[in-house]
Amino acid sequence: MFNSPPSREHDAEARRARLLQAAATVFARDGFEKASLRDICLKAQANVASVKYYFGNKEGLYREVFLACHREAIATDTPVTLADGTAPDETLRRWIHQILSCVLLKRASSSLMSQIMTHEMREPTACLNDFIKLVVRPFHDELHFIIATLLGRPGVVDEECTLLGHHIIGLCLHYDICRVVIDRLGPPVPKTEAEVQRLADNIADFVLGALVSRRAAAPKPAPR
């Protein structure tokens, strides 16, 4: 996530990078509230004044670390959308696959990012609002548009669409949040792209079946 500069390098960029690397390690271990600037600075071979100079305070340092964890996702993972003309059911499959790949493969490959996010979910900070705005909201909104289209009312995002979106997200995140339990119950949580694809197809089949049934059961508009 962060590149550690040579320990003897004392220029400003190297010192800032050391602080970020050290902070990521300490925040991942202790969370924001319990993390100590003293521990971070000792690990970074820097003084507390450096934190104030580069980041303003502990909150500023944490925000930079937290968002840096997700900067690659922000840059490379644009939400799957209906805009490219793909059929809505296939678009939903791709959306589910994208989310599963993110939480099961990309986050799993970065233990620091995963640990920091775990702390953030338990004890939210102001950074969570930035994370929702930059990362979560675009995916969330696009899912609602996909659901509305599959229900036969394109562009009409109501409470039903929102609730169904939460259900779908919950199905995906279950395999990340409960992975230690699932691994013991079996079959284990996917660890390869092929396994993630199979799981995504399985969830998509289940969700699409439910949406088709819901659309069929919806009251028909009265004839004019």
* Domains in the chain: ranges and CATH: 12-65 (1.10.10.60), 77-215 (1.10.357.10)
pLDDT tens-digit map of 42-74: 999 999 999 999 999 999 999 999 888 777 666
Q: Is 223 exposed, middle or buried (0-12, 13-18, 19+ CB in 10 A)?
A: exposed
**pLDDT, mean of residues 157-182:** 94
Note whether 112 and 1 are within 8 A (CB): yes
Instruction: Give the C-alpha separation, 167 to 210, whole Å.
Output: 11
Residue 2: pLDDT band (50, 70, 90) is low
- Residue 5: pLDDT over 50: no
Report the pLDDT value the prediction gives residue 108, as an integer from 0 to 100: 64
**Helix, strand, coil percentages for the chain (3-state, nearest 5):** 75, 0, 25
| 114 or 19: which leads in pLDDT | 19
Q: How many C-beta atoms lie closer than 10 Å to residue 44's C-beta?
A: 22
> How sure is the predictor about 169, in pLDDT bands with cuts at 50, 70 and 90?
very high
